[in-house]
Amino acid sequence: MTDTIAPSPSVPAAFQPIAPVLPSRGALRPLGLDGVRLTGGLWGDLHQLNADVIIEHCYGWMSRIGWITNFDRAAGVAGGAHDGIEFVDSEVYKLLEAMAWELGTRSDDLLEARYRDLVQRIGAAQEADGYLHTSFGRESQRPRYSDLEWGHELYCFGHLIQAAVARLRTGHDDDLPAIARRLADHLYREFGPSGRQAVCGHPEVEMALAEFGRATGDARYVELATLLVERRGHEQLQTTLYQGHEYFLDDLPVRDATVLRGHAVRALYLSSAAVDVAIENDDDELLAAVQTQWANTVARRTYITGGMGSHHQNEEFGDDYELPADRAYAETCASIGSVMLSWRLLLRTGEPRYADLIERTLLNGIFVSPREDGRAFYYANTLHQRTAGEEENASGLSERAEATLRAPWFEVSCCPTNVSRTLASLPGYVATSDDAGIQLHQYTPMELDTTLTDGQRVRLRVSTHYPFDEKVVISFSSDLESPITLTLRVPAWAVHTAAATLNDEQVAVSGASVAITRAFQQGDVIELVLPLEPRFTWPHPSIDAVRGQVAVESGPLVLALEDVDLPDGVTVDRVTVDTSVAPTRTSSGAAVSLRVHPPHATDWPFGAMESSAGAPLEADLIPYFRWANRGPSTMRVWLPESDQL
């Protein structure tokens, strides 16, 4: 990696696409949800599933279990005790954010009515000075800001403000942005330069305030975000028996750290905010520090799925190379936080490694969360399921991390709503522009329609079955007057095999990209071929947990072996893979040559070396993100090599 940072051109104010993140400068600019329309395929189908099912699912659950009614209680128009833990407000706000992105790109009267109803009820709970939280400050509740470590007040505010950013960016400066302004102004008074010198236990509001500053043009919000980022890391938050300074990322200032550590979601949200304020303040030292943390974390503390955070205890990062497969925590929200961070670094630097990790993490670490029907979710994402487990209770709340199947809702239910807002904004991660042209970072069926800074309107269509087929076809449907550069990312696994043509003429693949400069005309067709031959992938020798094992990958997809694809009575823990036989592609993933070993029971599991040749068996692997959609099962990503048993 390089820590050298390219010069950072400003974004013209006129270009304000519908995008969650709009840095005021950077190498690349988001095209936004208005610039890219997904048209089916893996990404498009999930985007649609969210619109059709997941938003409704989340709304239904939170209506049913009182998390929305909490606002009516706070407003004094409903009775009963507060439902849920103290940060359930944030789930309502994340759902609002998802709704806002949807309403910004399509018309839906029912959704609009629900959105407005929610905003009205939330607004009614806001207090005169702007404070808005259903768990604090009222009679029989704890006082405001009496538990900054665990109360999650500012964390909830952050999610409200991010929902307001979505409303502003989709063209409505109406009720929710007004509520958010009052809240942000309250925060500026309470925690600003002359307020209390404190931070919230869970970072989130920093990112939200930076974005709200960008969206409203009010510099105070960026100033407050900066203060909150800089204030952290001085051992100010009260630790507990089990949560130390590191847990809260309060052990070291962001600019002094070299790797992510502590609670994974907190670490990733804080780092994302650090990039935001580094950009707004032209603080290249802070930016470089986060880039170093990203690089070290990716090199040593990241699962092959992109998942981050290996400890169940405290939802924390482990030590370098401590990446157990059979107890992978890899929280869905940490993967979402990782995409947020990489996206910010990609926009700022243009380096394809960030888009590589986004693709890996989205496809394997996030798309795995929702069940195919959109009505259940993984919170933790193990890479090895030893026991098949039982169906979750469809009507009860689940413990977040111990579910062996996806669960409809959780006591701490951050993941479903986080998945929803991520899927709602999915078109925003596909492509960017700069002064020279267009960059395609991700390949999925879509129509792109945007206007460049030179005034040229660019329209193109991507047709592909990638990541299930190797060919990506890009057809221009507008005539350009002057040349632009179309840059196609070549994923790291394809740099030696990718090929590209322009109107059937070969064009050069140069490292991690294909760049074609041309005054493109309607009918110009670029074909990018990213060979998906399945490959064995070995772990770094320092990753003890999966030594002697291989994973199988096909393009950006990590594959998995699920017992439902094995003969009756054979579990995934009784097979090894013969790596002398190359895996072959199948329609759904890959086929590999396995050996099935007899069950091997002992009174004491340590002793002389045992070996068994095993019986040969050909078996199909499926994409990891699709596992456990056929009922309870056992599963492995990492398969022992046959000569290791």
* Binder of a second copy out of 82, 181, 384, 489 (CB under 8 A): 384
Residue 326 binds to a second copy (criterion: CB under 8 A): yes
Which residues in the 548-587 window bind a second copy by CB under 8 A?
A: 548-549, 551, 573
Give the span between the Cα atoms of 193 and 586, in whole angstroms: 60
Residue 128 binds to a second copy (criterion: CB under 8 A): no
Give the span between the Cα atoms of 508 and 272, in whole angstroms: 34
The least CB distance from residue 639 to a second copy, in Å, is 10
Residue 606 binds to a second copy (criterion: CB under 8 A): yes
Range in contact with a second copy (rule: CB under 8 A) among 191-199, 396-404, 443-451, 501-509: 396-404
Residue 396 binds to a second copy (criterion: CB under 8 A): no
Residue 354 binds to a second copy (criterion: CB under 8 A): no
Query: Between residues 13 and 241, which has the closer beta carbon with respect to a second copy?
Result: 241
Query: Between residues 198 and 397, which has the closer beta carbon with respect to a second copy?
Result: 397
Residue 544 binds to a second copy (criterion: CB under 8 A): yes
Which residues in the 18-47 window bind a second copy by CB under 8 A?
A: none
Contacts with a second copy: how many residues (CB under 8 A)? 64
Supply 174's token pair: 């109406």
The least CB distance from residue 330 to a second copy, in Å, is 14
**CA dist list (Å): 551 to 382, 626, 640:** 14, 16, 9
Supply 351's token pair: 């380096």
* Binder of a second copy out of 110, 455, 610, 631 (CB under 8 A): 610
Residue 402 binds to a second copy (criterion: CB under 8 A): yes
Residue 341 binds to a second copy (criterion: CB under 8 A): no
Residue 400 binds to a second copy (criterion: CB under 8 A): yes
- Helix (H, G, I), strand (E, B), or coil: what is residue 283? coil
* Binder of a second copy out of 101, 131, 188, 638 (CB under 8 A): 638
Give the span between the Cα atoms of 423 and 20, in whole angstroms: 12
First to last CA, the chain: 37
Residues 6 or more apart in contact with residue 505 via CB below 8 angstroms:
none
The least CB distance from residue 362 to a second copy, in Å, is 16
The least CB distance from residue 415 to a second copy, in Å, is 15
Residue 312 binds to a second copy (criterion: CB under 8 A): yes
Contact indicator for 40, 445 with CB cutoff of 8 Å: yes
The least CB distance from residue 428 to a second copy, in Å, is 25
Residue 242 binds to a second copy (criterion: CB under 8 A): yes
* Binder of a second copy out of 117, 411, 435, 533 (CB under 8 A): 411
Residue 174 binds to a second copy (criterion: CB under 8 A): no
Give the span between the Cα atoms of 62 and 60, in whole angstroms: 6
Is residue 402 packed enough to be buried (19+ CB in 10 Å), middle (13-18) or exposed (0-12)? exposed
Query: Between residues 13 and 608, which has the closer beta carbon with respect to a second copy?
Result: 608
Element spanning 517, H or E:
strand 513-518
Range in contact with a second copy (rule: CB under 8 A) among 117-125, 223-231, 456-464, 636-644: 636-644
Residue 626 binds to a second copy (criterion: CB under 8 A): no
Range in contact with a second copy (rule: CB under 8 A) among 186-194, 299-307, 341-349, 476-484: 299-307
Residue 57 binds to a second copy (criterion: CB under 8 A): no
Query: Between residues 186 and 261, which has the closer beta carbon with respect to a second copy?
Result: 261
Residue 11 binds to a second copy (criterion: CB under 8 A): no
Residue 320 binds to a second copy (criterion: CB under 8 A): yes
State the DSSP string of 121-174: HHHHT--TTS---SSBSSTTSBPTTS-TTTS-HHHHHHHHHHHHHHHHHTT--S
Query: Between residues 49 and 637, which has the closer beta carbon with respect to a second copy?
Result: 637
**CA dist list (Å): 641 to 545, 551, 576, 597, 600:** 14, 10, 5, 12, 17
Residue 298 binds to a second copy (criterion: CB under 8 A): yes
The least CB distance from residue 540 to a second copy, in Å, is 4
Range in contact with a second copy (rule: CB under 8 A) among 27-35, 124-132, 285-293, 317-325: 317-325
Nearest by Cα to 184 from 218, 235, 137: 218
Contact indicator for 369, 378 with CB cutoff of 8 Å: yes
Residue 313 binds to a second copy (criterion: CB under 8 A): yes
Residue 538 binds to a second copy (criterion: CB under 8 A): yes
The least CB distance from residue 478 to a second copy, in Å, is 37
* Binder of a second copy out of 79, 455, 511, 541 (CB under 8 A): 541
Residue 318 binds to a second copy (criterion: CB under 8 A): yes
Residue 244 binds to a second copy (criterion: CB under 8 A): yes
The least CB distance from residue 321 to a second copy, in Å, is 7
- Helix (H, G, I), strand (E, B), or coil: what is residue 40? coil
Distance from CA of residue 93 to its chain's centroid? 17
Residue 338's Cβ-side half-sphere holds a number of Cα atoms within 13 Å equal to 36
Residue 124: other Cβ atoms inside 10 A:
15
Which residues in the 467-526 window bind a second copy by CB under 8 A?
A: 492
What b/e string do you get for 541-571 counting C-beta neighbours within 10 Å, with b at 16 or more?
eebebbeebbbbbbbbbbbbbbbbbbeeebb
Is residue 239 packed enough to be buried (19+ CB in 10 Å), middle (13-18) or exposed (0-12)? middle
Question: Strand 36-38's sheet: what is its strand order?
Answer: 36-38, 446-451, 457-464, 471-476, 525-529, 499-502, 505-507
Residues 6 or more apart in contact with residue 135 via CB below 8 angstroms:
70, 82, 86, 87, 89, 141, 142, 151
The least CB distance from residue 311 to a second copy, in Å, is 7
| Interface residue list for a second copy (CB under 8 A) | 1, 85, 241-242, 244, 295, 298-300, 302, 304, 311-313, 318-322, 324-327, 353, 384, 386-387, 399-400, 402, 411-412, 492, 537-549, 551, 573, 597, 600-610, 638, 640, 644-645
